[in-house]
Structure 1
Amino acid sequence: MKIEEQQLFSNIKKSLMQSQHQSVITQCSSLLSPSADESGANSDTGLSAEAKREALYLLAVAYRLSGSTQNAISTLDNLVALFPDYGRAFQELGYCYLKVDDKKAAHSFYQATRFNPALLASWQQLEKVYKKDKQEQALLLCQQQIQFLSSLPKPLLGATDLMHEGQLHKAEQVCRQFLSANKHHPEAMMLLAELGIQLKVYSDAEFLLESCVEMYPENDRAAASFQSLLSKLGKFPQAVELAKKRLAQSPDNFTVQVSLAHALVGVGKLDDAIAIYRELLAKNDDRPALWVALGHAFKAKGDMQEAVSAYEKSTRYAADFGDAYWSLANTKTYRFDDETIEKMVDQESLESTKLDDKIHLCFALGKGYEDRKDAKTAFHYYQKGNSLKKRTIQFDIGRTEAALDAQKRAFSRSSFNNTQGCQAQDPIFIVGLPRAGSTLLEQILASHSMVDGTMELHDILGIASSLSHKKTPYPFNVTELDDDACRALGQKYIEQTRAYRQGAPFFIDKMPNNFIHIGLIKKILPNAKIIDARRAPMDCCFSGFKQLFGEGQEFSYGQEDIGRYYVAYESLMDHWKAVLPNQVLTVQHEDVLEDLEGQVKRLLSFCGLPFEEACLSFYETKRVIKTPSSEQVRQPIYKTGMQQWKPFETYLDELKQALSS
């Protein structure tokens, strides 16, 4: 929020506290009214998104306090439509409904706690509901949360509230101030680490949580947070070890057992993970999320029949569990029957369906209707799913473009003269945009006897993150690293990734976003091979727009964003080729489909590998694959994925314009 907006709202809040409700209504209404330009046409309010959210919220509060409940509800409905994950809006709705509709009030308070678990007042309202309805399990969980929030020092409770409302930098400031006076406070360390994760300062978050676990070995919340971060960073071997330690302390703890199984999937020990999932489900099969996790393990293993069965069981236990339907759609080969489509449409339309479930259902319905050749209805759901998702994330394509441009400014051709990093020749990096055919290239190379396939490794991103808070900011500090520092970072990468290898001389790192960090890669690993997986712009971007990613790839939820991102990616790849001549191989997806053998030979030649027939029959290679394309690359080459955007062309003008700019 701009400084002048902050001052304005500070004054409005003072008026609200002084019960000057009509004054607040007048001021907020004025702020939210579109202004007229010189021609007399209406233009936008001029408010930032955060300021618009604040104005609507304060207007609703003023309406409720002045007795205009219906106006308050209408304002809040508008607010929730614009900001569907704003917890305080739902809490205010709960207060509005208290006098008129107990069920809607309870639902609103529940939604408030889902989006902002720090809203103590909402938990206290839910406690009354659960006591009245004798919901013993829900009451127990509710009271545990009330007890936890009540035990937090007020500054930490305030910082937690700010974090869940998206005010990350304010929350960080409050948390750091508290820590300066209360060094090594475990809750403060965990909160600051969570803020670091949300701000993508992963190295700081990792250090904080690792320190917290060492200082407070009995604090399982700290251990759970640390294990979750390790998994997020792709450090699954460490996550497994930590999970085993936690399990030794709490052998019967369901949550810890599940977390161990998740980590085992991460290191590719699928049978061990599946055994844990099955054992837990045998004790209680009414666990929809666990069925989905089991399905993911079977999918990674290549057992699609078992995966589909697990996903379908999840939908039977929870008809509104969007992740289960999306998991079915995300196999790319599953087809929904009429009855399931109808059920999904009904669930998506219900007000009681959670936002995250609605998002998953929308993407699944988009795939379902696309399979039925109903482009109009399919696009409606794809668009709605993307729109809902985009409102829940903080993404600015301009900042991303600036970050990619910084890479071009940081690295020139001379930056790589006499580069003396780690001389290992093992790594083969496959980079590019998601949905560009990188999994196919990985499967082809992993079919070679001298190459290990791994997964999307996070290690380069972690190294880049560790360089982000030096005196000279990343990426400009990379060229300042001396030979010893470059060698050490390269060796660190080799050591960290060893756990994912099976002993072959070469291995693949298929993290698409590593295209941003090619300068860093070639400084610390000058002999690494870089392969750019490229796909026709409209095909690549529309495929990304249709995909609901597990995390990251925030640029993919808007046509303009994804188009501009593609343009910036192409520009950066052109730069890398200019400053690193003959060291980046672009493989066009369409060329692979048209001439598999020719492109495979070209690929192997670039990597310095002899030709092997197994690379042509890549679909017969058995290995763990955890990307959305896993089932597709277990089949021979087919061309049905080409120009899938064509039936949707009339809806894609914004994307076309962004790509042509």
Structure 2
Amino acid sequence: MTSPAAPTDAAALDSVNAELARIARHQNAGRFAEAGTALDRLLEQYPGHPRLVHLKGLNLVHLGQAEEGMALLDEVITHQPEDVAVLVDIGTLLAQQGKMDAAREKFQTAVEVAPNYALAHANLGAALVVAKDYARAIPHLDRAIALDPDVLDVHLNLAQACLRTGHFQRAVDVLFRALAIDPQSVAVHVNLAHALFRRERHEAAEHHARRAIELAPQAGEAWLHLGNTLAASGRMEEAAQTFLRAAALPGMALSAFTRLANLRKIKSDSPEWQGLQAVAQKADQLPDEARATLEFALGKAQDDLGDPDAAFAHYAEGNRLTRALFPYDRAANTARAERLRALVIPALLDRHAGAGLRGVAPVFVCGLPRSGTTLMEQMLSRHPAVQAGGEMLAVQRAFQANPRLRAVLEERAADTDLTDDDFTRLGEEYQAFLHGEGLRSPRVTDKMPGNQLYIGLLALALPEAKFLIMRRHPLDGLMSNYLQNFGQNQPVSTDLEDLAESWRQFDLNAKHWTSLLPDRVQEVPYEALVADPEGQARAVLEFLGLDWHGDVLDHTASTRQVNTASVAQVRAPIYGTSVARWRRYGAHLGPLAKALGEALTAEERLACGLDA
């Protein structure tokens, strides 16, 4: 790159600017060859000028000469390493080529060079969303909006990051601001339908799903969100018809038929069964994650059709595919549970007895997944003193905001380093998450199952909180996990022996917390809950210090949506057909029964093909 020449007087500058405007018009119209000719003429007059070389590089990329174009852009950066516009353009081109790591480096450099350049923050935030590094993406997207509040895509990316981190109300707020930018945006309406669904505002979610469909009848994702919302509202037949409409749209068959399969019992003439079989004919053309989705749906279909052997084979293949995509570290998870039990002992409770945030009394409904947490919360949501929160990431976010607690949990610091303020701050961060989601009642339910791991620390952080630990027969509960497609959200469910170890650690946790905190922690057996709903509900309300309210027995009338895998079940009356369902698959559960060992009776071991 030669020493750049530049216009030397106002007339020459005006002439160059006019030519650049003409070049821009060529490019906007797709006339890149004409734009290139004009740029070459300018470069003959002003050889090596970085702005012109920059534009020529971009133009070559548009002409399909990506390598030559990138070389010119790199040449500019070599001589002007802090040219933020070129850095952003190079990063954008790298991202378009799928080179996301290199793209993020360029965007990061651009942000450091020009902290107030909106596009640099916007593109770095977008790249971090693609990398699923949502926590880091959010501040950059926030900064981009602060600098330039009128860019629709930045709002959409921020909403996506908020959804992925469990900040559902924040996502709603961001999307309503996006709607003010473009009320006709299909993407905004689709994302609002999703965010409002997760926020459990089903009427509003339905409205925006339908509005997206009005604007773009072929918007398959809008149809899926509409079906999800109708199902979660208990309008099962409408949901089924909506999923069938979605299935007819390009690329939507697998997603729609899978949702429909999980919504109702499949019969041999059900359209979803026929549709899944058609998709299966081309299974070898699907990526592994989609194939796993198909296998789980086929398993559910074969189970409904009365062929448990064929069903289990599909479930096993779905889990095999998922396990390869999302490995699980059994040793690390076992070590974490052991660490928490060793950390929270009477000495720690005594030392920090005065800690924590008072005035808020959440009810944590926890346990292993598929243990009745959704049913329990649905029942409690019918009590007038209780506000249901659903599965929230509040605990995870509160821990992330407390580095000293994390250091102690990871054994990088001693527990004696902890102060009362650490636990109070944990409670404050938890409450801040609730308030951000519009949850302000003193009694809010949090049914994230994994919170059972942290009961001891949460009891210190929130001294008025109560904890319900849902228990279910291990064969029923763990088999139900194995048959559920959790994808990357719960990789432990892909292996029967891993599931057995997770149950063993849960069992030790439950015994530890109930022994350590008998006035704060109560177990609720799932089998007893479905056998005697009123008796169990009375015991739970008494434990929580709440008056009896008969509406808790009519959980199907709850206005809350159900956004977990339990939709169809909890919208039906309480029933006991899922008790001892494991026997249907007993012949395939030998590895699970063997790993559970003494947790099973001799008869149960025999039913799984093992010696008593």
What range is the shorter-chain TM-score in?
0.7 to 0.9
Contact kept? 1:320, 1:347, Cα under 8 Å: no
Pair 1:507–1:472, CA change in 2 (3 A): closer
- TM-score normalized by structure 2? 0.74
Distance between the aligned counterparts of 1:563 and 1:506, measured in 2?
33
Contact kept? 2:230, 2:236, Cα under 8 Å: yes
Residue 643 (1) aligns with residue 580 (2): yes
The residue number in structure 2 matching 1:96 is none
1:289 alignment partner, one of 221, 225, 228: 221
1:31-62 Cα shifts (integer Å, max 9, x gaps): xxxxxxxxxxxxxxxxxxxxxxxxxxxxxxxx
Pair 1:234–1:643, CA change in 2 (3 A): same
Pair 1:159–1:284, CA change in 2 (3 A): closer
Distance between the aligned counterparts of 2:94 and 2:347, measured in 1?
49
The residue number in structure 1 matching 2:334 is 401
Pair 1:270–1:444, CA change in 2 (3 A): closer
Q: Which runs of 5+ in 1 are unaligned?
A: 1-122, 128-147, 164-169
The residue number in structure 2 matching 1:89 is none
Distance between the aligned counterparts of 1:460 and 1:190, measured in 2?
24
In structure 1, give the amino acid aligned to 2:275.
Answer: K
Pair 1:222–1:575, CA change in 2 (3 A): farther
The residue number in structure 2 matching 1:302 is 234
1:545-587 Cα shifts (integer Å, max 9, x gaps): 1111375112112222222222222222323234333321111
Contact kept? 2:125, 2:138, Cα under 8 Å: no
Farther-moved stretch of structure 1 (312-321 vs 595-604): 312-321
After superposition, residues 347-496 of structure 1 pair within 5 angstroms as: 347-350=279-282, 351-417=284-350, 418-468=353-403, 472-474=407-409, 480-496=417-433
Contact kept? 1:530, 1:584, Cα under 8 Å: yes
Residue 659 (1) aligns with residue 605 (2): no
Pair 1:248–1:474, CA change in 2 (3 A): farther
The residue number in structure 2 matching 1:594 is 531
- TM-score normalized by structure 1? 0.69
Distance between the aligned counterparts of 1:412 and 1:179, measured in 2?
49
Distance between the aligned counterparts of 1:475 and 1:582, measured in 2?
29
The residue number in structure 2 matching 1:142 is none
After superposition, residues 551-566 of structure 1 pair within 5 angstroms as: 552-566=489-503
1:151-181 Cα shifts (integer Å, max 9, x gaps): 4449975996476xxxxxx999x68985796
Helix, strand or coil at the partner of 1:422: coil
CA deviation after TM superposition for structure 1 residue 520, in Å: 2.8
Paired residues, what number?
509
The residue number in structure 2 matching 1:268 is 200
Contact kept? 1:422, 1:487, Cα under 8 Å: yes
Distance between the aligned counterparts of 1:181 and 1:210, measured in 2?
16
Give 1 or 2 for the bigger CA radius of gyration: 2
CA deviation after TM superposition for structure 1 residue 516, in Å: 1.9
Distance between the aligned counterparts of 1:571 and 1:191, measured in 2?
42
The residue number in structure 1 matching 2:601 is none
Distance between the aligned counterparts of 1:366 and 1:382, measured in 2?
5
Pair 1:549–1:187, CA change in 2 (3 A): same
Distance between the aligned counterparts of 1:534 and 1:511, measured in 2?
14
**RMSD over equivalenced CA pairs, Å:** 3.5
Pair 1:239–1:656, CA change in 2 (3 A): same
1:393-436 Cα shifts (integer Å, max 9, x gaps): 24322222222222223322221221421112431010111111
Contact kept? 2:186, 2:216, Cα under 8 Å: no
Distance between the aligned counterparts of 2:386 and 2:406, measured in 1?
39
Farther-moved stretch of structure 1 (508-517 vs 177-186): 177-186
CA deviation after TM superposition for structure 1 residue 344, in Å: 1.3
Q: Which runs of 5+ in 2 are unaligned?
A: 1-60, 66-85, 599-612
Contact kept? 2:126, 2:157, Cα under 8 Å: no
The residue number in structure 2 matching 1:570 is 507
Distance between the aligned counterparts of 1:485 and 1:196, measured in 2?
31
The residue number in structure 2 matching 1:119 is none
Pair 1:179–1:485, CA change in 2 (3 A): farther
